[in-house]
Amino acid sequence: MGKPTSTKKTKAAARGTAAKSKAIARKTTSTSRATARSAASNAGKAARRASATASTTLKAQRGAATPDAYYAALPAERRPVMQALRKAIAKALPKGFEEAIGYGMPGWVVPLKTYPAGYHCAPGTPLPFLSMASQKGSISVYHMGLYADPALLKWFQGECAKRLPKKLDMGKSCLRFKRPEDVPVDLIADLCRRMTPAQWIALYESTFKRTGK
């Protein structure tokens, strides 16, 4: 006696269902792969656009002829803190420094009318003191007094340990901040209060000009 017809139909239906499931799975996998490739392609295009925009922004900054032009060219996410830092430094610096552009960065100098000898590395230009820059990976502040005055450096390092939540990324005269919210505007303003143009000139002549560095 043969197997019941209903059993044959059930098995056939099961095989059909399995085949359909496999086909759907293959189609889903193919669609997922296509979606992943498309997402990766779009992410790559977005990254290239972002890189091109950043490159254009950096070129605009470096080509700025005035501090105002430099700040106007900043990326939107960095402009507020850079402007806040600019305002705080301008208010904190002792009288006699002047805002200027030098080496593609905005900053403050001792003007030639105060110190006619100027900067020995670039004769005829004002003596640089402090600069700021929005760079590819960070916001940077360059303070020449930190490099030249061990006592000032010691004070600043002590204040950083007390007032900052994490260790500062610092070179000889460069302070680097990866995120706008990391910039300690008040601390940098306090640092700027601690050296006058006359003190900087005396330190420069005894440290840099004498050694020719």
pLDDT reported for residue 93: 98
Q: Are 89 and 186 in contact (CB under 8 A)?
A: no
pLDDT reported for residue 36: 60
Q: Which residues lie below 8 Å from residue 83, measured CB to CB, with a gap of 6+?
A: 71
65 vs 60: CA distance, rounded Å: 10
Tokens found for residue 203: 């330190």
Tokens found for residue 99: 């805002």
pLDDT top residue among 9 and 154:
154
Domain count, the chain: 2
Beta strands in 54-119 (DSSP E): 98-102, 105-110
Residues 27 and 70 in one domain: no
Q: How many CB atoms lie within 10 A of CB 177?
A: 18
Among 94, 93, 176, 100, smallest CA distance to 131 is for 100
Residue that terminates a domain, selected from 15, 34, 62:
62
CA distances (Å), origin 100, targets 6, 48, 108: 93, 33, 6
Q: Which residues lie below 8 Å from residue 72, measured CB to CB, with a gap of 6+?
A: 64
pLDDT tens digits for range 48-72? 444 444 444 445 455 789 999 999 9
pLDDT reported for residue 22: 72
Residues 147 and 205 in one domain: yes
pLDDT exceeding 90 applies to what percent of the chain? Answer: 65
Whether residue 166 is predicted with pLDDT greater than 50 in this model: the reply is: yes
pLDDT reported for residue 13: 64
Among 83, 131, 125, 84, smallest CA distance to 105 is for 131
The pLDDT mean for the chain works out to: 84
Residues 57 and 70 in one domain: no
pLDDT top residue among 1 and 208:
208
Residue that terminates a domain, selected from 20, 37, 62:
62
Residues 16 and 30 in one domain: yes
pLDDT tens digits for range 81-98? 999 999 999 999 999 999
Number of H helices, E strands in the chain: 8, 6
Residues 121 and 58 in one domain: no
What CATH number does the domain containing 130 carry? 3.90.1150.200
pLDDT reported for residue 26: 74
Whether residue 28 is predicted with pLDDT greater than 70 in this model: the reply is: no
* Cα 38 from chain centroid (whole Å): 30
